[in-house]
Amino acid sequence: MREEDFPRLLSGRLVTRDDLETVRRIIAQSPTVSRLQISRAVCQAWGWFKPDGGLKEMRARGVLLQLHKAGLIELPPPRPTSSNHRKFSWRTPVGEPGAPIVKSVSELLPLRLERVITKKDSYLWNELVDRYHYLGYTKLPGAQLRYLVYGKESLVAVLGFSAAAWSVKDRDLFIGWNLEQRRQNLYLVVNNSRFLILPWVKSKNLASKLLSMAARQLPRDWQEVYGYTPVLLETFVNQDRFRGTSYMAANWLLVGCTQGQGRKGRSRKGRLPLKSIYLFPLNKDYRKILRKRHE
């Protein structure tokens, strides 16, 4: 990447030479600030905001790192990472395996999805995912909602939803949007990034029941928290481990397969396991909405 290559699309934004000069000026004016503080200042200077009014900090940090690696700017040394990036090791008696629950879905009713709000529930969600989900715990990217799922008598599952993957070939072909439409409207797609029925819970059709419940409840909750309503859900099912039966039973659409390149398409091809791509429309006009251009 060279300065004469600009304007250039980086992390979904067309970065101009003026933008590059703005970044250099921010760094020069504040030589002692952190990378995080620089990214926030860049968002403010560029007017780079999410639909809910928040700063697009993660996108900005990605752009800054690319510019730094290309030698176009010089960022300060990274500071020690926060606990969010360390291995999650919290363990409590509440997270210990429970007594076997072998019941029909009707015997577990009423089922309820409780949004994670308190610090106590957040630690419990993190612990359960870290202990029992094959991917373990990592901080979910971007806008997100997490749920603890309770049956009539006990906790039975956890669900997590977060920002959509930036580039997914088969998903993007299915939607039929171009690069600019995707850049403007990707926030309306939400990723079902974690789904875990606790391993001691055995209940036929419980997974598809919970997916259907989540699809009904999430749009309302997302609107309440972030001020807008998503129109499409996505998820990626590891083909080496799962067949996607629960998603198909809940009427999710199988639209293709990943290419093994990671969330942002930057990993070496074939490095990651192949995953089936499932989508669930939350609005019958989702294609029209996702293809809309904004001035």
Q: Are residues 97 and 126 in the same domain?
A: yes
Cis amide prior to 80 (ω within 30 degrees):
no
* 157 and 241 together in one domain: yes
Range of the domain at 7: 3-69
Query: Which letter does DSSP use for residue 72 in this model?
Result: S
Tell me: do 225 and 105 sit in the same domain: yes
pLDDT for 131 equals 95
Q: Are residues 130 and 177 in the same domain?
A: yes
The domain boundary, picked from 20, 36, 69, lies at: 69
Position 294 scores a pLDDT of 67
pLDDT confidence of residue 78: 82
Instruction: Indicate if 52 and 181 belong to the same structural domain.
Output: no
Residue of 34, 59, 55 whose CA lies nearest to 44? 55
Q: Point out the residues of the chain with pLDDT beneath 70.
A: 52, 80-87, 261-271, 294-295
CA atoms within 13 A on the CB side of 195: 21
Q: Is 207 in the same domain as 112? A: yes
Residues 72-103 pLDDT 10s: 999 988 876 544 445 677 899 999 999 999 99
pLDDT of residue 87: 62
The predicted structure's pLDDT at residue 32: 78
Rounded to 5°, angle at Cα 15 from 13 and 19: 125
pLDDT of residue 84: 47
Same domain, 135 and 277: yes
Do 218 and 133 sit in the same domain of this protein? yes
Asked if the structure places residue 100 within a domain, the reply is yes
List, as one string, the DSSP characters of 186-227.
GGGEEEEEEEEE-TTEE-TTHHHHHHHHHHHHHHHHHHHHHS
| Cβ contact 291:266 at 8 Å | no
CB 229 within 8 A of CB 219: yes
DSSP alpha helix (H) spans, 8-56: 17-29, 35-46
Q: What is the pLDDT of residue 286?
A: 98
Write down the pLDDT at residue 270.
46
Rounded to an integer, what distance in angstroms lies between the CA atom of residue 164 and that of residue 221? 17
**Do 257 and 212 belong together in one domain?**
yes
Identify whether 42 is part of a domain: yes
Q: How far apart are CA 215 and CA 232, in angstroms?
A: 9
Task: Please state whether the peptide bond connecting residue 141 to the residue before it is cis, i.e. omega within 30 degrees of 0.
Answer: no
Last residue of a domain, one of 40, 69, 98: 69
Tell me how far apart the alpha carbons of residues 77 and 177 are, in angstroms, rounded to a whole number.
38
Q: What is the number of domains present in the chain?
A: 2
> Helix (H, G, I), strand (E, B), or coil: what is residue 102?
strand
pTM over 0.75: no
> What tokens does 216 get?
């009904």
Sheet-wide strand order for 253-257: 112-115, 145-150, 155-163, 189-197, 232-238, 275-281, 253-257
